[in-house]
Structure 1
Amino acid sequence: MAREPEPTLEQLNVLVGAWKTTIPSAETQGRTTFEWLEGGGFLIQRSTVERPEYPNAVSVIGATGSDRAFQQHYFDSRGVARIYDMTLRDGIWTLYRDGPDWPQRFVGRFSEDGNTITARLERGTYPGGPLEHDFDMVYSRIL
């Protein structure tokens, strides 16, 4: 059985740039940027939202090196810090955590031209519990 190739940081280039973000159910917008850390090695994600009840965030994304995946280290304006397991394969971007408070999953699907990501976010109510739809989000490339 052939092994899948290890992920390379170059796979993350599909995210690099600026994106308008929309949460249709909340009628709110924001902006997310992805840029390489000076000198490389990590991708930095910065997210802002136009409504004060939603947190602004910064994340650091890097390869794990051993399990064909990435990790995202997330920090937001509420003081929340989380670590997500991440994959980026075949036009699908996933983030997942089964944290001590509750599990979360993000599944984003890239459009054929790579300029739109349609995402579904899910969350559970307890560790190891089932996940339910939380909200949808759309990323539209602006740069």
Structure 2
Amino acid sequence: MHHTSRTEPISGQLRYERVLGGAFVMQHWSDDHPDFPDALSLLSETQSHYFDVRGIVRMFDLRLDDAGWTMVHLERDFSQRFKTRFEGADALQGTGEASSDGGITWRPDFTITSRRVPEGI
């Protein structure tokens, strides 16, 4: 990940798992930097429920298609949106933006590249 608050890239791990009989996909990530919290999300067809170790809970509207997905969370003081695109079968490219005015204006927040690795590595 390249975050706007850092000059160096941040590495981490991202895992996906079908849970509750396939009703949700659990997304769990941890970054190798103390300023970025470990977190998980439960994704349904239309929403992502986000939880992190700081106790932050957010709900995002989710749109998924064959090209990737988009998530948006709107609040008056802090909003976020993410756009993730599939890059073949084994990679994702994503961008995140943040807003402090309820989504009227957006600023770049981060970019992320995820690559599938075999389990156990």
Give me the TM-score of the superposition, normalised by structure 1.
0.73
1:142 to 112, 117, 121: 117
Structure 2 equivalent of residue 33 of structure 1: 15
Higher relative contact order (CA 8 A, sep 6+): 1
- Which residue is 1:62 aligned to? 44
Alignment partner for residue 27 of structure 2, among 45, 58, 61?
Answer: 45
Q: Does 1:23 align with 2:15?
A: no
Q: How much does 1:38 deviate?
A: 4.0
Among 116, 121, 139, which residue is 2:91 paired with? 116
Asked whether the 8 Å contact 2:14–2:28 carries over to 1, the reply is: yes
- Equivalences for residues 61-80 of structure 1 within 5 A: 61-63=43-45, 70-80=46-56
1:99 positional shift: 1.9
Question: 1:103·1:129 contact (CA, 8 Å) conserved in 2?
Answer: no
Structure in which a larger fraction of residues adopt helix: 1
Which residue identity does 1:137 align to in structure 2?
I
Q: Secondary structure at the match of 2:44?
A: strand
Unaligned runs of 5+ in 2: none
- Percent identity, aligned pairs only, is 30
Deviation of 1:81 (Å): 0.3
**Unpaired segments ≥5 residues, structure 1:** 1-21, 64-69
User: Residues 50 and 37 of structure 1: is their aligned pair in 2 closer, same or farther, counting only changes over 3 Å?
Assistant: same
Amino acid at match of 1:128: G
Return the index of the structure with the highest Cα Rg. Answer: 1
CA RMSD of aligned residues (A): 1.6
Instruction: Output the TM-score relative to the length of structure 2.
Output: 0.86
Aligned length: 115
1:101 matched to 2:77? The reply is: yes
